[in-house]
């Protein structure tokens, strides 16, 4: 299998293109200070991941900004302080301030010359619109959890994307799903028969950070540590032909 075998890249955005762990941790600082939490960053993110995953399953139609606000309030109670409505709302609205990885825009601009680019993200449309200028390209299609009514890893998100891309003449075999989260993205991509590329942004760090642990049998077809590495691999394939 080669990167040149595909003509569409579908992306998870947050964690893959946007440094969501840094963004989340920065946005949690007011609560962490107020609750006097001194745990390491990855422990804080793992606590967030557990609450986020449960909330997504419990309220799949809740827009992501509202879901984040609810999770922040839950974290306040978990850490022994009263929720603050304004603080929770600010956390929910923080998505647009989360930074892009340094290599994201340049890599996407290169890849756009060779593929159609699609977003499949667990956010709402307003949050993605706030993020979009940081990505440096216009995507050919954007599908959010708000559009679908469910959150990944529900396979219905992928079915929704496949159905709509089919109306654009794009077959399942044309698509390489490109994502950091083995839990949210690669496991359901396996279930619907999509090839996938793991962008391992955590680079072998222990634990799973801000995502839940994936199934033990999850698989992927390519593994890169950054979008720059993926773009370089595509260039190397081009040079070899």
What count of other Cβ atoms lies within 10 Å of the Cβ of residue 106? Answer: 13
Q: Which of 12, 124, 154, 185 is catalytic?
A: 12
Sketch the domain layout of the chain as residue ranges: 3-19+100-240, 21-97
Q: How many CA atoms lie within 13 A of 190 on its CB side?
A: 16
Give the mean model confidence (pLDDT) for residues 1-20.
96
Please report the beta strands in the chain, taking only residues with DSSP state E, as ranges in sequence order. Answer: 8-11, 116-121, 141-144, 175-179, 195-199, 222-224
**What tens digit of pLDDT does each residue of 182-204 get?**
999 999 999 999 999 999 998 87
**What tens digit of pLDDT does each residue of 221-230 get?**
999 999 999 9
Q: Report how far residue 100's alpha carbon sits from residue 215's, in angstroms, rounded to the nearest whole number.
A: 28
Q: Report how far residue 209's alpha carbon sits from residue 18's, in angstroms, rounded to the nearest whole number.
A: 15
Query: What is the pTM (predicted TM-score) of this model?
Result: 0.93
What count of other Cβ atoms lies within 10 Å of the Cβ of residue 112? Answer: 16
**What tens digit of pLDDT does each residue of 85-138 get?**
999 999 999 999 999 999 999 999 999 999 999 999 999 999 999 999 999 999
Q: How many CA atoms lie within 13 A of 96 on its CB side?
A: 12
Q: Would residue 12 show up in a list of annotated catalytic residues for this protein?
A: yes
CATH 3.40.50.1000 at 3-19+100-240, yes or no: yes
> Confidence class of residue 241 from pLDDT cuts 50, 70 and 90?
low
Give the mean model confidence (pLDDT) for residues 42-46.
94
CATH number of 21-97: 1.10.150.750
% of the chain residues with pLDDT over 90 = 92
């Amino acid at each position: 299998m080669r990167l040149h075998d595909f003509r569409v890249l579908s992306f998870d955005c947050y964690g893959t293109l946007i440094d969501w762990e840094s963004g989340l941790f920065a946005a949690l600082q007011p609560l962490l200070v107020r609750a006097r939490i001194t745990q390491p960053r990855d422990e804080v993110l793992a606590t967030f991941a557990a609450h986020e995953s449960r909330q997504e399953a419990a309220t799949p139609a809740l827009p992501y900004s509202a879901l984040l606000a609810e999770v922040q309030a839950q974290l306040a109670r978990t850490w022994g302080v009263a929720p603050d409505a304004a603080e929770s709302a600010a956390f929910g609205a923080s998505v647009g301030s989360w930074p892009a990885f340094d290599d994201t825009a340049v890599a996407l601009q290169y890849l756009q010359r060779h593929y159609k680019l699609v977003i499949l993200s667990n956010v709402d449309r307003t949050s993605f619109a706030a993020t979009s200028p940081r990505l440096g390209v216009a995507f050919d299609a954007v599908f959010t959890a708000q559009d679908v009514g469910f959150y990944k890893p529900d396979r219905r998100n992928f079915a929704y994307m496949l159905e709509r891309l089919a109306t654009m003449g794009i077959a399942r075999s044309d698509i390489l799903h490109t994502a950091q989260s083995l839990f949210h993205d690669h496991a359901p991509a396996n279930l619907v028969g999509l090839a996938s590329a793991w962008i391992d942004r955590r680079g072998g760090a222990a634990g799973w950070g801000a995502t839940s642990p994936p199934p033990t049998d999850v698989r992927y077809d390519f593994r890169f540590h950054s979008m720059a590495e993926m773009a370089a691999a595509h260039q190397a394939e081009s040079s070899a032909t």
